[in-house]
Structure 1
Amino acid sequence: MQTSDIEQLFTRSDGQYLCARWGRPIVPVVFGVDDATLSTVKGAIEAVVTLANHKMAETDPELGANLMVFFCRDWSELLDVPNLDRLIEGLAPLVARLHAADANQYRVFRFDADNAIRAAFVFIRMDDALSQVPAETLALSQAVQVILLWSDTAFTDRSALAVAGETTILRPEIGALIRAAYDPVLPSVATDPAHALRLGARIGEVQ
C-alpha cells in the first residue's frame, strides 16, 4: 500500500488523522441472533483478533463484555434493550438520527485514559440490503471495522473485503495493515499523519 492510501484510511472527514487500536483483550457479546449466527459472528471476531496478534478474554474486569454487537430489524428496538441508555449517552436522539438517515449500521467507541479503544458498540439493522449479505461476509466486515478506529470514510468507496472464487475474504493489504497497526513498537494511538509512514514500513517487514 502507498503511504497516501494508508493515511486516507485513518484521516477523518474533518481532516484529522486518528488511528487507535484496542488497549485490552476483546470480550464480545452478540444480541439478537440465533445460535448459528452467534457462532459465525464470534468466529469472525476471533479470526480478525488473531490476525492482529491481539487477545480475547472471557471477561473484562471493568465492563464484563467490552464489544457488544446488536442486531435488530428496526432501530426503535434499541430503546427496549435494558440499561442500554446507560451505556450509550443520548440513545433516544441517536435512534432518531439513525431512523432519519435510513442507516443500517452504526458503531460507537469508548476510549481509556491513554485513548486506546476500551469498548465498542456495534448496531446493525437488518434491512433488505443487509439481509441479502451472507452471514459470514457481514460478520467479517463488522469484525474488521471494529478492530481499529478507521476513518469514518475509510470503506465508503472500496470494501475491506474481496471475493476470491466463491469465498469472501479480507483484502490482503488490509490484513497486513491491521497486523502492522498492532505491532508493539507502534503506539496504541496516533494523531500525526507521519504514523502512516511507520505503518507502511511495518507492512513491508510483515510481507
Structure 2
Amino acid sequence: MTPQEIEALFTRESGEFLFARWGRPIAPIVFGVEDETLSVVKGAFEALAALSGHKLAETDAELGSNCMVFFFRDWAELPQVPGLDGLLPGLADLVARLEAEGANQYRVFRFDAEGAIKAAFVFLRMDKALSRLPAEELALAQVAQVFLLWSEGAFRDRSPLAVAGDTIILRPEVAGLIRAGYDPVLPSVARDPAHALRLFARMEPAL
C-alpha cells in the first residue's frame, strides 16, 4: 500500500483529509442478535483490540456504552428504540433517507473536543445480502470499520476482508494500517495529508 493509497482511505468526499481513532476505551453493546452471534461480534472487538493495542471496557463513564451495534430487519424499527432519537438528533429524517436509498448499513460517529472518536453507532439492516454473510465475516468487517474514521468510500468497491485458506481475515494492509493508526506516538486526530506518510512508515505486515 502506497502513501497515496493510504491518504485516499481517509480523504472525505468533500476532499478533506481526516484521520481519527478512538480517544477512549471502546465499550461496545450489541442489539438484536442471539447469544451465539453476540459472542461472535464481541470476539471481533477483542481481535481488533488485540491488533491495535487499544483497550476495551465494560462501560464508558460518560455514555455507558459508546459503541452500539444494531441488527434489525427494517429501518422503521429504529425510531422505536427508546432514547435513540435523543442520542441521534434527526433520526427520523435519517431513517427516511436510508429507506429511500435502500441502504443495508450505516455508521455514525461522535467526537470529543479534540476530534478523537468518542462514540459510534452501527446500523445493519439484515436484508438478503447481509443475511447471506457468515456472522464472523459480517462482524469482523463492521468492527474494522469503526476502529478508525475511514472515508465514505474506503471499502465501497473492496471489502476490508480476505480469505486465508478456510478462514476470513482482515486484508493484511488493512490490519497493518489499523495497527499503525494506534501507534501511541501518533496523534489521535490528523487533518494534514502528510499523516499518511507517518502511517506508511509504521506499517508492517499483519501476522
Would you say same fold, with TM above 0.5?
A: yes
Following superposition of structure 1 onto structure 2, how do residues 33-112 of structure 1 map, counting pairs within 5 Å? Answer: 33-112=33-112
Q: Distance in 1 between matches of 2:42 and 2:26?
A: 11
Following superposition of structure 1 onto structure 2, how do residues 147-166 of structure 1 map, counting pairs within 5 Å? Answer: 147-166=147-166
User: Would you say how many aligned residue pairs link Structure 1 and Structure 2?
Assistant: 207
Are residues 1:15 and 2:7 paired?
A: no
Q: Distance in 1 between matches of 2:14 and 2:63?
A: 31
Return 5+ residue gaps in structure 2 as ranges. Answer: none
Structure-2-length-normalised TM-score: 0.97
RMSD: 1.3
Structure 1 residue 61: Cα displacement: 0.5
Are residues 1:29 and 2:50 paired?
A: no
Question: AA paired with 1:143?
Answer: V
Are residues 41 and 163 of structure 1, via their aligned partners in 2, closer, same or farther at CA, if it must alter by over 3 Å?
A: same
Q: Distance in 2 between matches of 1:205 and 1:29?
A: 30
Structure 1 residue 15: Cα displacement: 0.8
Q: Distance in 1 between matches of 2:92 and 2:31?
A: 19
Structure 1 residue 159: Cα displacement: 1.1
Q: Distance in 1 between matches of 2:169 and 2:204?
A: 21
Q: For 2:33, what is the secondary structure of its paired residue? A: coil
Structure 1 residue 31: Cα displacement: 0.3
Following superposition of structure 1 onto structure 2, how do residues 135-154 of structure 1 map, counting pairs within 5 Å? Answer: 135-154=135-154
State the partner residue of 1:177.
177
Structure 1 residue 206: Cα displacement: 8.5
Return structure 1 stretches of 4+ with deviation > 4 angstroms: 204-207
Are residues 205 and 72 of structure 1, via their aligned partners in 2, closer, same or farther at CA, if it must alter by over 3 Å?
A: closer
Q: Distance in 2 between matches of 1:176 and 1:134?
A: 24
Question: AA paired with 1:142?
Answer: Q
Structure 1 residue 204: Cα displacement: 5.0
Question: AA paired with 2:31?
Answer: F
Q: 1:180 touches 1:206 (CA, 8 Å); kept in 2?
A: no
Q: 2:7 touches 2:17 (CA, 8 Å); kept in 1?
A: yes
Identity of aligned residues (%): 68
Q: Distance in 1 between matches of 2:161 and 2:185?
A: 27
Structure 1 residue 65: Cα displacement: 0.4
Return 5+ residue gaps in structure 1 as ranges. Answer: none
